[in-house]
Structure 1
Amino acid sequence: MPPPPPPDAAPQVSLPDSSGSYVPPMTENDLSAIRSRYLGVDKKKRKIRKMNDRKFVFDWDAQDDTLVEDSFVAVGSNRQGAQVMFGRGHLAGMDDGGPSGPRKSETTVTHLADAMERRKAAKAGFDERHWTEKPLEEMKERDWRIFREDFSISARGGQIPHPLRSWAESAIPPAILECIENIGYKEPSPIQRQAIPIGLQNRDIIGIAETGSGKTAAFVIPMLTFILKLPPFTDDIRHLGPYALILAPTRELAQQIESETKKFATPLGYHCVSIVGGRAVEEQQFNLREGAEIIIATPGRLKDVLERHVLVLSQCRYVVMDEADRMVHLGFEVDLTFILDALPAETMQGEDLGEQMDVDGETLVKKGRTRVTTLFSATMPAAVERLARKYLKRPAVITIGEAGRAVDTVEQRVEFVIGDEKKKQKLLEILNSGQFAAPIIVFVNQKKTADMVAKDLSRAGWNAATLHSGKNQEQREASLQALRSGESDVLVATDLAGRGIDVQDVSLVINYQMAGTIEAYVHRIGRTGRAGKLGTAITFLTNDDDEVMYDLKQEISKSPVSKVPAELAKHEAAQHKVSREMKRKRDAEDQG
């Protein structure tokens, strides 16, 4: 019996899709593409690497790509054809989104880059709200991580408390919160957000933050919280010295810290006294007659006062070193060691023995600590690390932004200006342009240059004041006050004004002479762009500044608001670091 004839080819029919409309029939090419894709038919033989082949094989089969969009290309332009076989919206069991869009769980977590985080979030019912929209009790660890990233806060040292979101949510005593409100602090700065919660734990801190970041309040608020729990000063104990000591590198910074501290301390009934050079010891001794809970001092004068037995530190329990790198740079390391060693011996023994200071039945310092030591610095040179290792016990280390970097709110400009006459012309051209409002600070490297530039500005009709080490203390204070009050438009200063001097709303800093180091440059230009405001720094460069050109180029390139000028970018000295020895050798070759 002969076999039956082969059946005719099945007629091509059009089937309705989910919307009821008819779609074109699938072609043989479409069917073969699907078979090839999902059934493994007609797949090319994959290239297999031999075990002894040391070269990495980068070839791969295009059909290994499992990207959903590519699968539609393999099927052809007719996406509806897949729906005939598998139903709308599912291609080989995968949801392509379809007209109805992606599933709800996918919508919630699509912005999470990490696959594992996406899976965990989808499983746990991820809360997509930003931390600003959540109450404090609903903050998760991920929210705190985002919070720290938002404010460039980095902290290490173990058991770091969460940073402050606002003053109202903090554990700061109500009396100090009232002072904060009266002073007008709206929001904590980044260093305050992290340093204050750690400080409230009576824990040693190393704070590394850019200049003008609000460090003073970051250590004054925890310090006053600490003092609030100590017995009030009476005639029986006031002669034993202060409860807290703040050390600063310069008289100007010490007096600025005193002014800021008094805003908090005076309403609480505490006394602050500054002990700085440039004033008679007898005057400072008179100020100490009634005792003071807080002493703000420069290391040199404080060492002198301690040696004369005008002051003792028998009950000093809180020590702050502000601008520690500057103090070391100015040669105060020996004085600092003398002062810290002058603290009561039983305090140091108490730390070693794990004893605790008990006041009114309440343990002030946990884990056997009897003194809190806080160190703030913009950079951490070896000498500062030595101090930290010797005098700080298991400190928490806080870094805001990138240590030693200029603030992002300062636009840095550079101009090559050769010769004093051209510099003078350029300076007057900038000042007379009307682009920059007073106050303005002009930095130079020598005292005589400062006096000369100030004289030139006065001849040109500008009210200029000077600040350098050749002035006595009264003259320095008068120059700063003249700039702050608006009596002077321009302050011409050496690096004495490069650190810690806070004059509000400085719109422009001009480096008439480039600083000798990039650290000094960063501190100079930090006088503008403070407290989140924008500022401009213009630097006059000459070929003699080749030692710092490479670092200057690197510094400007990090700034989001500055551009490295072509002349500096192409300069030979900016291509690699030039040391003093290299410069001396090159000069000798030129002379030979």
Structure 2
Amino acid sequence: MASQAARRGPQSVDEIIQKRKDEEAALAKPKFLSKKDRERIALEKLTKHREAKLQQHQQNGTFYGSTTTNGTSSTNSTPIPSAPRSMQQQRGDYSRNFKGSSRDAAKNPSPPSETENLDPEAKLLRERYMGIAEIRRQKRRRTASDRKFTFDWKTEDDTSSDYNPIYRGEVSASLGLKNTGEAEEKKKRALELQDILRKKKDTDWDSMHWSEKPLDKMKERDWRIFKEDFSVSTKGGSVPNPMRSWEESGLPPEILRAVEEVGYKEPSAIQRAAIPIALSCRDVIGVAETGSGKTASFVLPLLSYIIEMPVLNEVTKSDGPYAIILAPTRELAQQIETETRKFCNRLGFRCVSIVGGHTISEQSFALQEGAEIVIATPGRLVDCIERRVLVLSQCCYVIMDEADRMIDLGFEEQVNKILEALPVTNTKPDNDDAENPRLMSTYLGGKDRYRQTMMYTATMPPAIERIARQYLRRPATVIIGSAGQAVGTVEQRVEFVTTEEKRRRRMGEILNSGEFQAPVIVFVNIKKNCDMVARELNRIGWKAVILHGGKSQDQREAALKQLRDGEADALVATDLAGRGIDVPDVSLVLNFNMAKNIEDYTHRIGRTGRAGKSGIAMTFLSNDDQDTFYDLKQMLSKSALSKVPDELRRHEAAQAKFAARKTMQNIQ
């Protein structure tokens, strides 16, 4: 090395200057010192400082600590610390020299503390590198936040880019550059993000409303909420879920097209619940409020059933219809016929009504060409069967509308005769097989299928229960709202008007107020009052027609036609028009006389507020109507649109039902 340096020659000035700069730069760089290095450096500085102090005292003739007369240090002088406390105790602390028996303690008093004999500069050095003694003596508690975790994975171990496309590729700022390639890439990433969000949305169905879900995502909770929204309750085993729309109904395409042409937009509550049950070949008992669309709920499944049956020919048309529909009154039967024809004419089926008021020969002529559906009142249908005008040898579908009303009118015997005239070879078994749609939809041989029965009623008196037990097999029960309650779209108003003269005057004030437009319906209790009220209406400028049991069938039909066509402004009727009369856009139902019972009152006011529209029903009360006060008050209190007048609320007869009140009077 020396020979090489000799050959290179002496260093130049620039090399020396550069070397010095490198050394200064190296010294200027911060150095990381460990705890041991810091302790070692502090110990070296302290030792040098002590040696310099000791040298200074020796030169001045003094000693550090206590001294003797000859200038030497005493045996109990405080030694100079040569290391921090932790290091001193490892080597053996000098303070142990002072520990001993009490006799030694008396001869050798306790030495001064470590910091008493230190000068201020030494104390500051000690506190800087070893800390304050009081703080050192305090035991430091280790908290959970002091813990440091070391993860056993590295950044390059992240695998999220393998399964999440949002992390694929490197994102770069476009800086406002209009680059077609970058725009395409941005669009592609946006589409990928939408796809991710759509897939993620599939897992969030539980937080969505049933109306936003597809049918296959509906759960039991969603169906329960759906039924609560439409006030639907069902009973019976294996009841299928309701339909949410016509597209999900399961009806044949040709019937769905007819539904669209007729103008049915959304199914009503009874249609949503009853149609899926009837399409599964189950017997049905339906309890629904008046004006809720019951006719379509049994006509559409009936047409779906008939579509699968063989077409009537010259031979089979004389064997009778495939289905019969029973109604308690002529008006209701004709109303059902009108609604049924809307679909039959589009599907190529024939529908015939058999009601009183027409001759048997006229109805026999209508049946000569055969008919898939016969709509009849019980009395006239029994006459046709007994006179061999009609047979039911191939009837496999039976519908009884307003069954409780048929029993009230005394038609129980006729209904049983009609049901006994049906063939017994196609009755369903009275076991669990009656709830199996696949078994009940099979053919029994030839054209025969299991008989299906649907019954609609507002109440279930014992006679209806007997008929249901005898002729229905494991029926499913559908209840819409509360049985016997009025339609929720009708506002009910009640006024106390005592005399006939005051009622006529009040009726004129109401109709001439301009609040109500034609048509309106006025109900009375007896036939002779119809003529009196009609004369009063004509006097105040409202053209009125009359409908009651004393009119012929032609007169009834003519009155209803005038009202529907707008030729008449008002219809004055008895309870005969309380059921089955469907006149569009009736703005007011006026009970000139209160009905004898709450059921007839419910059906009366159901002539308005139909098909989801709103309506108003006004009732005149007097003390002669006390038997209905309690039920009327309960019905008004349950209606969201109606208010119970104070006079009715406080009336004594409205505090308890008539039967309970009569019993208490007998006891007293």
Q: Letter of the aligned partner of 2:387 in structure 1?
A: R
Q: Does 1:257 align with 2:336?
A: yes
Q: Letter of the aligned partner of 1:333 in structure 2?
A: E
Q: How does 1:200-211 map to 2 (within 5 A)?
A: 200-211=279-290
Aligned to 1:408: 488
Contact 1:245–1:316 (8 Å) recurs in 2: yes
Contact 2:526–2:574 (8 Å) recurs in 1: yes
Aligned to 1:388: 468
Q: Could you tell me how far apart the structure 2 residues matched to 1:355 and 1:138 are? A: 29
Q: How does 1:173-188 map to 2 (within 5 A)?
A: 173-188=252-267
Contact 1:249–1:299 (8 Å) recurs in 2: yes
Aligned to 2:118: none
Aligned to 1:569: 649
Residue from 162, 173, 195 that aligns with 2:241: 162
Aligned to 2:381: 302
Q: Could you tell me how far apart the structure 2 residues matched to 1:580 and 1:451 are? A: 37
Aligned to 1:216: 295
Q: Does 1:439 align with 2:513?
A: no
CA shift, 1:349, in A, is: 8.4
CA shift, 1:267, in A, is: 1.5
Aligned to 1:455: 535
Which digits, 9 at most, give the CA deviation of each residue in 1:308-354, with x for residues without a partner?
A: 11000000000000010111111101100010001123234877998
Residue from 439, 450, 454 that aligns with 1:370: 450
Q: Does 1:149 align with 2:195?
A: no
Aligned to 2:600: 520
Residue from 312, 328, 332 that aligns with 2:411: 332
Structure 2 vs 1, CA of residues 414 and 257 (structure 1 numbering), >3 Å: closer, same or farther?
same
Q: How does 1:258-337 map to 2 (within 5 A)?
A: 258-337=337-416
CA shift, 1:382, in A, is: 1.7
Q: Could you tell me how far apart the structure 1 residues matched to 2:497 and 2:477 are? A: 42
Structure 1 counterpart SS, 2:595: coil
Structure 2 counterpart SS, 1:405: coil
Contact 2:434–2:473 (8 Å) recurs in 1: no
Structure 1 counterpart SS, 2:352: strand
CA shift, 1:369, in A, is: 7.2
Residue from 298, 315, 318 that aligns with 1:236: 315
Q: Could you tell me how far apart the structure 2 residues matched to 1:568 and 1:352 are? A: 51
Contact 2:442–2:449 (8 Å) recurs in 1: no
Structure 2 vs 1, CA of residues 323 and 346 (structure 1 numbering), >3 Å: closer, same or farther?
same
Q: How does 1:117-156 map to 2 (within 5 A)?
A: 127-156=206-235
Contact 2:396–2:449 (8 Å) recurs in 1: no
Residue from 625, 637, 644 that aligns with 1:545: 625
CA shift, 1:386, in A, is: 1.3
Q: Could you tell me how far apart the structure 2 residues matched to 1:130 and 1:313 are? A: 48
Aligned to 1:476: 556
Contact 2:205–2:217 (8 Å) recurs in 1: no
Q: Letter of the aligned partner of 1:544 in structure 2?
A: D
CA RMSD of aligned residues (A): 2.8
Structure 2 counterpart SS, 1:530: coil
Which digits, 9 at most, give the CA deviation of each residue in 1:397-446, with x for residues without a partner?
A: 00000011011111111100011100100010100111011110000000
Contact 2:627–2:653 (8 Å) recurs in 1: yes
Q: Letter of the aligned partner of 2:295 in structure 1?
A: T
Q: Could you tell me how far apart the structure 2 residues matched to 1:133 and 1:300 are? A: 50
Structure 2 counterpart SS, 1:168: helix
Structure 2 vs 1, CA of residues 362 and 147 (structure 1 numbering), >3 Å: closer, same or farther?
closer
Structure 2 vs 1, CA of residues 125 and 477 (structure 1 numbering), >3 Å: closer, same or farther?
closer
Q: Could you tell me how far apart the structure 2 residues matched to 1:186 and 1:535 are? A: 21
Q: Could you tell me how far apart the structure 2 residues matched to 1:456 and 1:556 are? A: 29
Aligned to 1:226: 305
Corresponding pairs, count: 465
Structure 1 counterpart SS, 2:277: helix
Structure 2 vs 1, CA of residues 449 and 362 (structure 1 numbering), >3 Å: closer, same or farther?
closer
Contact 1:350–1:370 (8 Å) recurs in 2: no
Q: Could you tell me how far apart the structure 1 residues matched to 2:432 and 2:265 are? A: 43
Contact 2:358–2:553 (8 Å) recurs in 1: yes
Structure 2 vs 1, CA of residues 160 and 583 (structure 1 numbering), >3 Å: closer, same or farther?
closer
Q: Could you tell me how far apart the structure 2 residues matched to 1:202 and 1:409 are? A: 33
Q: Could you tell me how far apart the structure 2 residues matched to 1:225 and 1:583 are? A: 52
Aligned to 1:99: none
Which digits, 9 at most, give the CA deviation of each residue in 1:109-153, with x for residues without a partner?
A: xxxxxxxxxxxxxxx966211111111121111111111111111
Q: Could you tell me how far apart the structure 1 residues matched to 2:651 and 2:560 are? A: 37
Aligned to 2:273: 194
Aligned to 1:53: none
Q: Letter of the aligned partner of 2:261 in structure 1?
A: N
Structure 2 counterpart SS, 1:399: strand
CA shift, 1:378, in A, is: 1.6
Q: Could you tell me how far apart the structure 1 residues matched to 2:663 and 2:235 are? A: 40
Q: Could you tell me how far apart the structure 2 residues matched to 1:553 and 1:389 are? A: 35
CA shift, 1:236, in A, is: 1.6
Structure 2 counterpart SS, 1:127: helix
Q: Letter of the aligned partner of 2:592 in structure 1?
A: Y
Which digits, 9 at most, give the CA deviation of each residue in 1:95-117, with x for residues without a partner?
A: xxxxxxxxxxxxxxxxxxxxxxx
Structure 1 counterpart SS, 2:658: coil
Q: Letter of the aligned partner of 1:527 in structure 2?
A: R
Larger radius of gyration: 2
TM-score (norm 2): 0.67
Structure 2 vs 1, CA of residues 279 and 583 (structure 1 numbering), >3 Å: closer, same or farther?
farther
Which digits, 9 at most, give the CA deviation of each residue in 1:541-564, with x for residues without a partner?
A: 000101111111111111011010
Q: Does 1:556 align with 2:636?
A: yes
Q: Letter of the aligned partner of 2:585 in structure 1?
A: D
Structure 1: 5+ residue stretches without partners: 2-83, 87-123
Structure 2 vs 1, CA of residues 565 and 486 (structure 1 numbering), >3 Å: closer, same or farther?
same
Q: How does 1:18-57 map to 2 (within 5 A)?
A: none
CA shift, 1:526, in A, is: 0.5
Contact 2:542–2:570 (8 Å) recurs in 1: yes
CA shift, 1:582, in A, is: 3.2
Contact 1:350–1:369 (8 Å) recurs in 2: no
Contact 1:354–1:369 (8 Å) recurs in 2: no
Structure 2 vs 1, CA of residues 270 and 184 (structure 1 numbering), >3 Å: closer, same or farther?
same
CA shift, 1:365, in A, is: 8.2
Q: Letter of the aligned partner of 2:268 in structure 1?
A: S
Structure 2 vs 1, CA of residues 428 and 583 (structure 1 numbering), >3 Å: closer, same or farther?
farther
Query: Higher helix proportion, which one?
Result: 2
Structure 2 counterpart SS, 1:155: strand
Q: Could you tell me how far apart the structure 1 residues matched to 2:579 and 2:378 are? A: 16
Aligned to 2:504: 424
Q: Could you tell me how far apart the structure 1 residues matched to 2:359 and 2:365 are? A: 10
Q: Letter of the aligned partner of 1:347 in structure 2?
A: N
CA shift, 1:527, in A, is: 0.5
Q: Could you tell me how far apart the structure 2 residues matched to 1:490 and 1:584 are? A: 43
Structure 2 counterpart SS, 1:278: coil
